[in-house]
């Protein structure tokens, strides 16, 4: 009963928090478009038609066409599908590995902890674009490899997030009590540590999903991410730059889709953080 009312209170706060509600609505719309892309696209995103090269937006091509006469709207839909897939996959894997590393380091302590956290600090202090490019050099372009690269960038973030609370919980009385009645380390981690960091990790995942989508776009824009002809929002902007003066719609709409998606996830994550952080909520 108590649990239930707590959830209802959070839901109420969420609905009252207009920004996060707007963020949630836009996120759901963008996600639906991405999921439904193959069915709602007016054209085949890869089908070329040289007679319609660089057509400005008009009734039959709402966002115009690109340099091969491909429909930009259909490509934005499919591009969003791939960009979101990359973002969600890398956040999910990064969360599992990163949180694991953070908990293990925090729980075991000692020299291992110092070394792990020091390396993570160094990795974190590097600009994402520079480090991401480094990883992509080794892996080579491709959807799967971009997911790996962004996962690598996300692991230190999640590790740090999981590490700090683990340190505090490790010393808590209830953990000592659990140990004294013979609870195993695994049980302590699952029953006591994970629930404590779950909320914050989930909230930050929403915020970092925006970051991940932006990173995919940046890597593809630099030409080390997902290569054409597969459309992603980033490589569409990149290709469109060459025609910016005569056909700005190619870049502009793809970029707009990135901006709206990232903004929506940021609004949502920001609002969720306000609701879940008791310090801010109390104000």
Partner 1 sequence: MIGYTIRRVLIALPTLLVVLTITFVLVRIAPGDPAEVRLGDYASKEAVEALRKEMGLDKSMWVQYLKTLKGLLKGDFGRSMINGRPISADLKRSLPYTLELTLLGIIFGAIFGIPTGVYTALRRNTFADYIGRTLSLAGLSFPTFYLGILLMLAFAIKIPLFPVVGGGDIHNFADNLHHLVLPGLTLGLIMTAYVTRMARSSVLNLLNEDYVRTARAKGLAERKVIYIHLLRNALLPIIALIGIYSIVLIGGSVMVEIVFSRPGLGKMMIGALKQRDYTTLQAVMITFAGFVVLINLITDLAYGLIDPRVKYK
Residues that bind partner 1 (CB under 8 A): 19, 119, 122, 125-130, 133-135, 137-138, 140, 210, 214, 217-218, 221-224, 234, 237, 241, 244-245, 248, 251-252, 255, 258-259, 262-263, 266-267, 270, 283
Q: Quick one: 123 or 167, whose CB is closer to partner 1?
A: 123
The CB-of-217 to partner 1 minimum distance in angstroms stands at: 5
Q: How far apart are CA 55 and CA 71, in angstroms?
A: 9
Q: How far apart are CA 237 and CA 222, in angstroms?
A: 10
Distance of CA 164 to the CA centre of its chain: 22
- The tokens of 147 are what? 């997911």
Q: Quick one: 68 or 263, whose CB is closer to partner 1?
A: 263
The CB-of-22 to partner 1 minimum distance in angstroms stands at: 10
How many C-beta neighbours within 10 Å does residue 74 have? 24
Q: Quick one: 150 or 237, whose CB is closer to partner 1?
A: 237
The CB-of-224 to partner 1 minimum distance in angstroms stands at: 7
Interacting residues of 124 by C-beta distance below 8 A, sequence separation 6+: 156, 157, 160
The CB-of-131 to partner 1 minimum distance in angstroms stands at: 8
Q: Quick one: 28 or 115, whose CB is closer to partner 1?
A: 115
The CB-of-212 to partner 1 minimum distance in angstroms stands at: 12
Q: Quick one: 155 or 188, whose CB is closer to partner 1?
A: 155
The CB-of-1 to partner 1 minimum distance in angstroms stands at: 33
């Amino acid at each position: 009963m108590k649990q239930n009312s707590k959830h209802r209170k959070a839901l109420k706060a969420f609905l009252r928090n207009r920004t996060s509600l707007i963020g949630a609505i836009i996120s759901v719309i963008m996600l639906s478009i991405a999921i439904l892309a193959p069915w709602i696209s007016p054209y085949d995103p890869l089908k070329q038609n040289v007679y319609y090269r660089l057509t400005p937006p008009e009734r039959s091509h709402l966002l115009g066409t690109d340099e091969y006469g491909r429909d930009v709207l259909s490509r934005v839909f499919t591009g969003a599908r791939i960009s979101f897939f990359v973002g969600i996959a890398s956040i999910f894997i990064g969360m599992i590995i990163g949180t694991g590393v953070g908990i293990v380091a925090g729980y075991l302590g000692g020299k291992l902890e110092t070394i792990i956290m020091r390396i993570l600090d160094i990795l974190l202090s590097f600009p994402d674009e520079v480090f991401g490019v480094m990883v992509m050099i080794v892996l080579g372009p491709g959807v799967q490899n971009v997911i790996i690269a962004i996962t690598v960038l996300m692991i230190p973030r999640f590790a740090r997030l999981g590490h700090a609370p683990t340190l505090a919980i490790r010393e808590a009385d209830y953990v000592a009590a659990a140990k004294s009645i013979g609870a195993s380390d695994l049980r302590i981690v699952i029953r006591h540590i994970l629930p404590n960091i779950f909320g914050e990790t989930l909230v930050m995942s929403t915020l970092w999903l925006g970051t991940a989508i932006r990173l995919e776009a940046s890597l593809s824009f630099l030409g080390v991410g997902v290569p054409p002809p597969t459309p992603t929002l980033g490589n569409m902007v990149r290709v469109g730059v060459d025609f910016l003066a005569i056909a700005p719609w190619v870049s502009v709409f793809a970029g707009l889709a990135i901006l709206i998606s990232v903004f929506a996830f940021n609004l949502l994550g920001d609002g969720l953080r306000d609701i879940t952080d008791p310090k801010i909520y109390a104000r």
